[in-house]
A and B are shown apart, each in its own frame.
Chain A
Amino acid sequence: MIKAILIFNNHGKPRLIRFYQYFAEDMQQQIIRETFHLVSKRDDNVCNFLEGGSLIGGSDYKLIYRHYATLYFVFCVDSSESELGILDLIQVFVETLDKCFENVCELDLIFHMDKVHYILQEVVMGGMVLETNMNEIIAQVEVQNRLEKSEVRPFLSSSKSFPLIYVFGFSQVSAIKYSLSVL
């Protein structure tokens, strides 16, 4: 089970939080702070697993994260999840974001938190992995976006009007390393 998915930037500002277990808002913020504290002091060339987040879970839980340019993607999972699997899942998620937003950057996440949520909902549901096939995820997201466009007049869905400041360094990150999404 995935207990929580947190996305925050290099300064600890939350960009998306998704808890699969209820925590009150102040507790959520505290968890974000603690997680940021744990994750941010680690070099980029160390392993992506962390034990010992005290606020969330306990000994059965691990933090598995990836750091892309300005953003940390942190998944808090229990021992039923494969560590390498989750690393690949994060990669799938980020690559999906990249495709859906066409070169995703932090600003996309800032201004379109709702859309990021909708994409995430096609990947993880209620703490369990729903879909790992990127094409399938994108297909479902696109159908739903079309559905939305047909319902709401186009002037509401504002197109991207801000510059791409922080483009993710995808070239640095190799593709899905542990060859998981082979279907």
Chain B
Amino acid sequence: MALKIVKGSIDRMFDKNLQDLVRGIRNHKEDEAKYISTCIDEIKQELKQDNIAVKANAVCKLTYLQMLGYDVSWAAFNIVEVMSSSKFTYKRIGYLAASQCFHESTDVIMLTTNQIRKDLSSPNQYDTGVALTGLSCFVTPDLARDLANDIMTLMSHTKPYIRKKAVLIMYKVFLKYPESLRPAFPRLKEKLEDPDPGVQSAAVNVICELARRNPKNYLSLAPLFFKLMTSSTNNWVLIKIIKLFGALTPLEPRLGKKLIEPLTNLIHSTSAMSLLYECVNTVIAVLISLSSGMPNHSASIQLCVQKLRILIEDSDQNLKYLGLLAMSKILKTHPKSVQSHKDLILQCLDDKDESIRLRALDLLYGMVSKKNLMEIVKKLMLHVDKAEGTTYRDELLTKIIDICSQSNYQYITNFEWYISILVELTRLEGTRHGHLIASQMLDVAIRVKAIRVFAVAQMATLLDNAHMLTGNTQRNGICEVLYAAAWICGEFSEHLENPMETLEAMLRPKVATLPGHIQAVYVQNAAKLFATVLKSQEGNTDSTTAQEASQLMIDRLPLFVQSANLEVQERASCILQLVKYIQKLQQKDVEVSEEVCALFAGELNPVAPKAQKKVPIPDGLDLDAWINEPPSESESEDEQPKAIFSKEEPKHSRPRHTEVDEKELARRREARKQEQANNPFYIKASPSSQKVYQETPGVEHIPVVQIDLSVPLKVPGLPMSDQYVKLEEERRQKERAEKKKKDKKKRKEKRSGRGKKHDSGPESEEDITPAHMVDIVTEEMPENALPSDDDERDPADPHKALDIDLDKPLADSEKLPVRSHRAAEVLKSPAEDEEGENVSSLEPKKKSSKEKREKKKDKDKDRKKSKEEKKKKKHKHEEKEEADLLCGQADEPAFQSEETNEVVTPPTSTSADVSDLDFWLSNAPVPSNTQEAATVAAAEAAPAPGAISVTTPDSEPEEPKDTEMEETKSSKHKKKKQKREKEDKEKKKKKKHHHHHHHHGDKGGEESVQNGTVEEEEPLPPMSNYCLLAENSYIKVMMEDADEAYDIQGNLQDGSQVVVSVIFENKCDSFLKSMEFNVLDSLNSKLQRPEGSGPHDSLTIPFQLPPGVSNEARFVFTVQSIIMPQKLKGTLTFIVKNEESSTHEKLDFKLHFTCTSYLITTPCYSDAFAKLLESGDLKSSSIRLEGVNMPFHHLLARICFHHHFSVVERIDSCASMYSRSIQGHHVCLLVKISSQTVSVDAKCDEPTLLGNVLDEIKQTFSQC
């Protein structure tokens, strides 16, 4: 034995260790691969040995080789062997190797489960630590499921070293096994207050990471985090929390308001730049989430901007960069605050650091206005000249174009200036963005009609100086602009001063060196020019010019006919033959110009990018059906030219040629014949139709958007001429560099002369009016485009909208789906079985919340669908169970019960946890138990699908609450308990009622229409508390008719409140955001607004709606008198946002507060009921309902459901019912039915209220 050990040691002496391997590799620089392959062979030998030390050594070397890029997965089993060594040293080596090369599809992982479990429970904390570290890198869904419980136990380990690792790894477990989140979450939350700062930090880390993906679910933790934020001194923790708040504020603007102050304090007090920066970032997020009409926050904005300026001015490049980054966030909402720092940002353009320059460029993009555009672009142009390195220069170029063209050229007041800028940019050598400049030139020339004269002149100059652009043709992207120049000169040739000259320039032999697609445009447009020349010479007795033109064409075109490019060749030979024919005619003195011009008649308009999509598919056209059966193999021939063609196709907004074979084309033509006939913008091949177009006088039907542009030529006033001086300077610079553009100079002088003439004009600088009409032609749409199909493709990709909203990548939310947090299968999951006693304390929470979820779901469904009785019974059983559970929980200490409550509340039912949060957030002096009631009410709303009930404790006196949080906390919970208990009791009672109805029910009610089947047991007709409030094409607003009404303290008269639940449903395909709800208060009823807002301010709805999504918001109203029904007018404003635009929309509605809505379902025993009737305080009244054709129990159910009554007693066809108003009025009913006639005798201590309630009951039954 001893000998064996010695032998092993000696073996190892001679084995290479990691250092030897590294040294060896360094000594074999020439034949590294060969050396390594021999090493791998050695390693394989070592792995075969029994000695674990040898194996560990081999595995260690493999880890090194893995880093060098060698696949070592073949040794996975050996790695597992080393992992299972009993010695820490080897175990550590094994786990390291595993963490480097194991992944989900490594099959040996499944062998490790027990080993890892053993290590996790090892008495040596470092064994546990090493296992946790390793596992964090290669945890799989199976491992997560199997080990979740062990890890959760470790979260309470005695050693903080293990606790913090266990906490961190839980995040990985959640990702792989989402079902574990709910059971583990309470403990995770506990760790937020762990005595060890490391553990606390880890818990914050994990929760922040979770909340970042699904912020909504973690809103309820905000108070806890707020406490941590104000108490913690650990900057790491603070940074995480502050970042988390940045993610939460968009969901809950009130949170933002609460945050501003502590954050501002931190900004002032901290010396840690990282913390300062994150605070500023979150303040910015808060400011963005609060709507801009908050004047008192301008101080915060100023503070942020001022601090950021300090960062940007810092010599530390990192701070400078981050400062600019944050500045760009402010820019989006508060551009003015940033614009005042323009100097600083322009300065950053000179920075030596490219990242910083790019950031500054981004900022500039948002800072331009009509006033400063020219100035900013001028500065950028200077930078373009100075810039070294094409990447940055290209970036500048695209930025200049982006800046100028943004929002449909919104900021350009002078298009001549813009064209000159574009021309100037063509002098950039080696840019990749020639096509970008070209498309801008085309776009401007086509869409801004007034600029065409100028543009054509500039383009002619460009064509004339084409040789300057084509220094080294092939690699120079800038020659793309010639494409635009040629096209503009050809298309708008009527504006050319000297078409003949330009024609000559376009037919120079040098042109043949240009890329094919440009040559093709040259040839085609030469023909257009030729037509113009002929036209201009028409009527001229001297026909020499025209003949010269023909001769020129005939002389130069053969060069293009020989072109290797198919397109060029084809066009050239067509045109050549045409010109030859024209020449013949000319020689016979035949007037040809009209016919030649007709070839190119008609206007070309820009087509909107989505136009094609918007053409509705004609009836009977199946786009998926084969038109011709797919051809056999012989396609290869066709494909090649196609490929070439598409490769050369430039990216322009010009109409393109579609490559379709003739037959298909014919069919398509057939199919769309009708549309084409009606559409004046189709350019058709037949000459006859062209003539028609020539005759149609204008282009009135082209949609034209008028924008308030101005061209300084005619705009008087000093500031404008100031700008003009700047413009002048720019021009001169350009002139210096480009001496040859003499005619332009002339033009310029002319202009400056004109400008001066108008100097004394009366206009102020503010209202810049268009000098001569400049239209921007909008892009064209087919005339039968469907306006509503706007984002037709969005529904197919619903996550897109969500992405924008939550600012989270789709893939991540898939990793940890919201729903699966509280998936119903929690109990069935295998891990649960193992969790055993550890989780047993959690079990009830899980269960109850699960049931709630189900019930909630059910409730929603049941509002529309009737339900089988059986199901209902089952349900009630569950409810009972829940009630017991809740009672049980109530015995727990108050603190825990708070936690329970928060956990139990399903995160998505915003109502419940939000109202808890409401309490914390509300600055308004709302007595705390009102909020309490809201919470309970919301929780309560879920289980009871029928009558919605809220008990108001009328027996035990409760001391009034002060708004101080700390104090209320404990008492709050006590009360919650009490209430819960009450409700539970009450619920049980109600259940009995239900039973009652159903068992005594007559047959023959309405059948469930929705289900379409006749159920064996008679269903209740569908009932919904929600009524439609208002609706338009964008949004549908449903109101639950002021259901949960509750009083504050039993039956005090003051401060009665009503909660209105409103469901907002997005019906359109766009994103709805910035929804604001406002109601015109009456003397009697007032909408509760947060403190500090005026009586007419609207409430921001704390969510946004992606297409097709609905969500519920609750509004609290204060009512004084409840005896009369109320109608309140209100407005909902919102922004409809889609890809292209966002528009403000508004929807008016009327909130109807019936007297019924002030009633609360309150149980009453028959003896108490009898006493009440006997007391003689009640006034009576009665109604009769004729022709009621429904079973009695339906009738009662309806009264219970719609009017919040409860049945006290029922004997055959007679029932007594009771309800109470929020202000304590008793309402008693005696309902009798005999042969379709229902008589309702009622008593109440307030006759007006009674009258109104009876009217409403009547109304209910008249509707059915």
Q: Would B22 and A125 count as touching, CB distance under 8 A?
A: no
Please measure, in the bound complex, the distance between the C-alpha atom of A180 and the C-alpha atom of B92, giving whole angstroms: 30
A 121-142 to B, binary, CB cutoff 8 A, 1 in contact else 0: 1000111111111001000100
Provided the pairs A126-B137, A129-B205 are in contact, do residues A110 and B22 lie with their beta carbons within 8 angstroms? yes
Q: Which residue of B lies closest to A7 (CB)?
A: B67
Closest beta carbon of chain A to B400's beta carbon, Å:
21
Among A16, A50, A84, A110, chain B packs the most CB atoms within 10 A around the CB of A84
Q: Would A60 and B809 count as touching, CB distance under 8 A?
A: yes
Closest beta carbon of chain B to A10's beta carbon, Å:
16
B321 / chain A contacts, CB cutoff of 8 Å: 47, 49
- Whether a CB of chain B sits under 8 angstroms from the CB of A118 is yes
Closest beta carbon of chain B to A8's beta carbon, Å:
10
Closest beta carbon of chain A to B141's beta carbon, Å:
14
Select the stretch in B232-240, B588-596, B928-936 that faces chain A: B232-240
A 19-48 to B, binary, CB cutoff 8 A, 1 in contact else 0: 010101110110000000000000101111
Q: Which of A22, A113, A152, A180 contacts B63 (CB 8 A)?
A: A113
B468 / chain A contacts, CB cutoff of 8 Å: none
A182 / chain B contacts, CB cutoff of 8 Å: 233-235, 272
Provided the pairs A156-B17, A158-B19 are in contact, do residues A47 and B235 lie with their beta carbons within 8 angstroms? no
Q: Would A84 and B69 count as touching, CB distance under 8 A?
A: no
Provided the pairs A46-B355, A113-B63 are in contact, do residues A84 and B202 lie with their beta carbons within 8 angstroms? no
Select the stretch in B165-173, B661-669, B1160-1168 that faces chain A: B165-173
- Whether a CB of chain B sits under 8 angstroms from the CB of A171 is no
Q: Which residue of B lies closest to A57 (CB)?
A: B809
Closest beta carbon of chain A to B57's beta carbon, Å:
9
A16 / chain B contacts, CB cutoff of 8 Å: 67
- Whether a CB of chain A sits under 8 angstroms from the CB of B209 is yes
Q: Would A82 and B352 count as touching, CB distance under 8 A?
A: no
B 79-114 to A, binary, CB cutoff 8 A, 1 in contact else 0: 000000001110011001000100110000000000
A 146-174 to B, binary, CB cutoff 8 A, 1 in contact else 0: 01100111001010000000000000000
Closest beta carbon of chain B to A172's beta carbon, Å:
14
Q: Would A87 and B318 count as touching, CB distance under 8 A?
A: yes
Q: Which of B70, B88, B164 contacts A148 (CB 8 A)?
A: B88
Q: Would B92 and A46 count as touching, CB distance under 8 A?
A: no
Please measure, in the bound complex, the distance between the C-alpha atom of A43 and the C-alpha atom of B1107, giving whole angstroms: 47
A20 / chain B contacts, CB cutoff of 8 Å: 137
Provided the pairs A47-B353, A125-B169 are in contact, do residues A131 and B164 lie with their beta carbons within 8 angstroms? yes
Q: Which of B23, B66, B88, B809 contacts A147 (CB 8 A)?
A: B88
A178 / chain B contacts, CB cutoff of 8 Å: 272-274
Please measure, in the bound complex, the distance between the C-alpha atom of A175 and the C-alpha atom of B197, giving whole angstroms: 23
Find residues 104-128 in chain A having any chain B CB closer than 8 Å to their own CB. Answer: 110-114, 117-118, 121, 125-128
- Whether a CB of chain A sits under 8 angstroms from the CB of B322 is yes
Closest beta carbon of chain B to A135's beta carbon, Å:
12
A111 / chain B contacts, CB cutoff of 8 Å: 18-19, 22-23
B317 / chain A contacts, CB cutoff of 8 Å: 45-48
Please measure, in the bound complex, the distance between the C-alpha atom of A143 and the C-alpha atom of B704, giving whole angstroms: 78
Q: Which of B67, B96, B201, B318 contacts A14 (CB 8 A)?
A: B67
Provided the pairs A14-B68, A47-B356, A129-B205 are in contact, do residues A82 and B243 lie with their beta carbons within 8 angstroms? yes
A80 / chain B contacts, CB cutoff of 8 Å: 208-209, 212, 243
Q: Would A128 and B168 count as touching, CB distance under 8 A?
A: yes
Q: Which residue of A lies closest to B271 (CB)?
A: A179
Q: Which of A87, A125, A147, A179 contacts B168 (CB 8 A)?
A: A125
B60 / chain A contacts, CB cutoff of 8 Å: 114
- Whether a CB of chain A sits under 8 angstroms from the CB of B354 is yes
B355 / chain A contacts, CB cutoff of 8 Å: 46-47, 49-51
Q: Which of B64, B104, B208 contacts A113 (CB 8 A)?
A: B64
Q: Would A45 and B209 count as touching, CB distance under 8 A?
A: no
Q: Would B169 and A126 count as touching, CB distance under 8 A?
A: yes
Q: Would B205 and A128 count as touching, CB distance under 8 A?
A: yes
- Whether a CB of chain A sits under 8 angstroms from the CB of B1044 is no
Q: Which residue of A lies closest to B172 (CB)?
A: A126
A180 / chain B contacts, CB cutoff of 8 Å: 235-236, 272, 274
A51 / chain B contacts, CB cutoff of 8 Å: 355
Provided the pairs A80-B208, A180-B272 are in contact, do residues A133 and B198 lie with their beta carbons within 8 angstroms? yes
Provided the pairs A46-B353, A47-B353, A130-B168 are in contact, do residues A82 and B92 lie with their beta carbons within 8 angstroms? no
- Whether a CB of chain A sits under 8 angstroms from the CB of B278 is yes
Please measure, in the bound complex, the distance between the C-alpha atom of A127 and the C-alpha atom of B205, giving whole angstroms: 11
B42 / chain A contacts, CB cutoff of 8 Å: none
Please measure, in the bound complex, the distance between the C-alpha atom of A156 and the C-alpha atom of B104, giving whole angstroms: 34
Please measure, in the bound complex, the distance between the C-alpha atom of A152 and the C-alpha atom of B60, giving whole angstroms: 15
Provided the pairs A126-B169, A183-B197 are in contact, do residues A47 and B318 lie with their beta carbons within 8 angstroms? yes
- Whether a CB of chain A sits under 8 angstroms from the CB of B792 is no
Q: Would A82 and B18 count as touching, CB distance under 8 A?
A: no
A: residues with CB less than 8 A from B are 1, 14, 16-18, 20, 22, 24-26, 28-29, 43, 45-51, 58, 60, 80, 82-85, 87-88, 110-114, 117-118, 121, 125-133, 136, 140, 143-144, 147-148, 151-153, 156, 158, 177-183
B: residues with CB less than 8 A from A are 9, 12, 17-19, 22-23, 26, 53, 60, 63-64, 66-71, 87-89, 92-93, 96, 100, 103-104, 126, 132-133, 136-137, 161, 164-165, 168-169, 171-172, 197-198, 201-202, 205-206, 208-209, 212, 233-236, 239, 243, 271-274, 277-278, 316-318, 320-322, 352-356, 809
- 12 A-B pairs within 8 Å (CB atoms) are namely A25-B69, A29-B69, A45-B353, A82-B274, A88-B274, A117-B96, A126-B137, A132-B236, A148-B92, A179-B272, A181-B235, A182-B233
Beyond A128-B171, A129-B205: 17 further Cβ-contacts under 8 Å? A22-B103, A43-B353, A46-B317, A47-B356, A58-B809, A82-B277, A84-B273, A113-B63, A117-B96, A125-B168, A126-B168, A148-B88, A151-B88, A177-B316, A182-B235, A183-B197, A183-B234
